[in-house]
Amino acid sequence: MNNQILAAVSEYGTPALFGIVTIAAVGVPLPITLLLVVVGSMVSQGAVNLWWAIGAAGAGSILGDQAGYAIGRWGGPAAIARLSAVFGKHAGLEAMEAKAKAWGGPGIYITRWLLSPLGPWINLASGTARYPWHRFLLWDALGELTAAVVFISLGRFFSDRVTALGAVLGDLTWAIAALLAAIVLGYQLLAYVRRARAR
Amino acid sequence: MVRGRSLPSCGALTSYIESVGQTWRRVLAVGLAFVVAITFTLVFAFRAGRRARHMRGENEPIQEWMSVPFIAHSHHVPPSTLFQAIGVQPRQPRDRRSVRRIASDLHRPTPEVMAKLQRALDEAAHPPPRP
């Protein structure tokens, strides 16, 4: 699957990039970080125009995110359950919904680029939680453009080491996700201990 | 009769013990999850650091999605050298076909084309001594 996607972008350039990032933003698990890094390398080789690449990646992702939000908001629980079943993820949407409400805009922004695997679920959760659409669009656009600029620039800078860079970024994403989980769990643990001492 | 703190009834005592048990089970579960999360953080951070350290020294492996100019750029070799090695006349202005597509156009297995490209890269990096 990864080979076909990367080959499509290599052969067809920005139109393929636009289509792939849109599909990924709806929730299909595709290696978007690696893809953007590869596009950055193609930019440095003169095979793709920088502004077209940033535009296609940003616009495609925003479009896919909006579709996810719309499914969450107007599709109802049946559509969400079907989407979860199709993509094989039954991750607690209620928990995500609570996170979407608690984290708000910064949460949406961070899950566009730093914790991108959570992005599609935050889109659905923001829709079901009825997070205001104009705010969602603002944070979403900021986050997706940050993702496009950061990863394409990294690809341009390390243009001859893109697969190695993709692997480093993949590991870093998981390290950050695990660190955030550790912080949340540590906070919960501390709260339990304090409550036990107070008794 | 002086009455102290009334003792809980049998049912209330049982439910109290159960609630304490549940709380400690929850603490244990959260504690274990915390340890797992810390372990994952360290493992992935270590892996990322090790990969980043080795990134400069390693050569990018050839993959079937890569185009010939992409491989040439990654290995600092002129694209014409690689096209020549696989016996392909590049399309103009830029041949963006992946190795897999080229292999399919040539009616050859992809690993064979990749092996030819690898040989050409090895020769470019370590040219054979002139007689």
- Preceding peptide of B128 cis, ω within 30°: no
User: What average pLDDT does this structure show over A32-44?
Assistant: 94
Q: Would you place residue A160 in the very low, low, confident or very high pLDDT band (cuts 50, 70, 90)? A: confident
Pick A168's closest partner by Cβ from B37, B48, B97. B48
Domain boundaries, chain B: 10-58, 68-125
> Which pair of structure tokens corresponds to residue B41?
């953080």
pLDDT of residue B125: 81
Instruction: Quickly state the pLDDT bin for A6 (edges 50, 70, 90).
Output: very high
**Residues of chain A found within 8 Å of residue B27, distances taken between Cβ atoms:** 189, 192-193, 196
- Neighboring chain A residues of B60 at a CB cutoff of 8 Å: 160-164
Nearest to A164 by CA among B103, B67, B39, B49: B49
pTM: 0.79
Is the pLDDT assigned to residue A89 strictly greater than 60? no
Choice among A72-81, A170-179, B35-44, B103-112 with the minimum mean pLDDT: A72-81
Per-residue tens of pLDDT for chain B, all 131 residues: 444 444 556 666 666 666 666 777 888 888 999 999 999 999 999 999 998 888 877 778 899 999 999 999 999 999 999 999 999 988 877 888 999 999 999 999 999 999 999 999 999 887 767 66
Confidence class for position A192, pLDDT limits 50, 70, 90:
confident
Point out the residue among A2, A7, A189 whose CB comes nearest to the CB of B98: A7
* CA nearest to B87, candidates B68, B111, B71: B68
**Which chain B residues are closer than 8 Å to A196 by Cβ?**
23, 27
- Could you give the CA distance from residue A93 to residue A128 in angstroms, rounded to a whole number? 9
pLDDT digits (tens, 9 = 90+) for A95-153: 666 666 667 889 899 999 888 888 888 898 888 888 899 999 999 999 999 999 999 99
Q: What domain count does chain A have?
A: 1
Tokens of B126: 């370590």
Under DSSP, the state recorded for B108 is S
Give the model's pLDDT for residue A121: 86
ipTM over 0.85 threshold:
no
The answer to whether the CB atoms of B70 and A45 lie below 8 A apart is yes
Residue A143 carries which side chain, given as an amino acid letter? Answer: G
Contacts of residue A58, Cβ cutoff 8 Å, sequence gap at least 6: A141, A144, A145, A147, A148
What is the number of CB-based contacts under 8 A between chain A and chain B? 115
Contact between A124 and A68 under an 8 Å Cβ cutoff? The reply is yes
H-type alpha helices, chain B: 10-55, 68-74, 79-86, 99-106, 110-125
Q: Looking at the complex, does the CB of residue B69 fall below 8 Å from at least one CB of chain A?
A: yes
Average pLDDT estimate for A146-171: 92
Does residue B13 belong to the interface with chain A, where contact is any CB pair within 8 Å? no
Q: How far apart are CA B55 and CA A56, in angstroms?
A: 29
